[in-house]
Amino acid sequence: MNRFQNLLTPEKVLDKAQKFCLYRERSEAEMERKMKEWGVGDQNLLDRLLDCLIKDRFISNERFALAYTRGKFNVKQWGRIKIRQGLKMHKISDELIQLSFKQINPDSYFEALNKVISKKLPNSIKGLDNQQSYELKGSVYRTAAQKGFESDLILQILNDKFKG
């Protein structure tokens, strides 16, 4: 139980939610979780408050998906897999996820993955024996995969780097 539960009227919750949404884009699921934390237990009231926030354009899953994708790719250098997982946690639809991915330039995406891989590689990989090369490739592959990049792209870049 929240200690503010008895103090927050629906009007106060709505005001608090509006201020909370001004800080950055929020998803409907995130806002619903937050209002439950504030002590809104009645699902009908929660739905009415969410409808007000949507109607007044304080929250929009589309705007959220676009901002989330843009931020995670540009700032954190995340790949599509990790971004998709994050959006799914916010209950964003597949259609909105696909729409948000359209704003990522394919060349920029490939360049970002190349940068992640290059950062992990030593200056010279020519002097490595087969075992060292294999271990380094595995390590770099895992790093890029943890960032959410697709296996085929990772392997394509790794094979190019280790070929020459």
**pLDDT at position 5 over 50:** no
Count of domains observed in the chain: 3
CA distance 37 to 97: 27
Q: Is there a domain that residue 4 lies in?
A: no
Q: Can you give the residue range of the structural domain that contains 118?
A: 106-163
Residue pLDDT, tens place only, 33-48: 999 999 888 899 999 9
- Whole-number pLDDT of residue 1: 46
- Whole-number pLDDT of residue 12: 93
Contact criterion met (CB below 8 Å) for 87 and 68:
yes
- Which of the 8 DSSP states describes residue 60? -
- Whole-number pLDDT of residue 41: 85
- Which of the 8 DSSP states describes residue 11? H
Residue pLDDT, tens place only, 39-84: 888 899 999 999 999 999 999 999 999 999 999 999 999 999 999 9
Please count the CA atoms within 13 angstroms of the CA of 61 that sit on its side-chain side. 19
Residue pLDDT, tens place only, 104-145: 999 999 999 999 999 988 776 777 778 888 898 999 999 999
Average pLDDT of the chain to the nearest whole number: 91
Residue 116, helix vs strand vs coil: helix
Q: Is there a domain that residue 3 lies in?
A: no
144 and 114 in a common domain: yes
Residue 83: is it exposed, middle or buried by C-beta count within 10 angstroms (0-12/13-18/19+)? buried
Q: Is there a domain that residue 1 lies in?
A: no
95 and 49 in a common domain: no
47 and 67 in a common domain: no
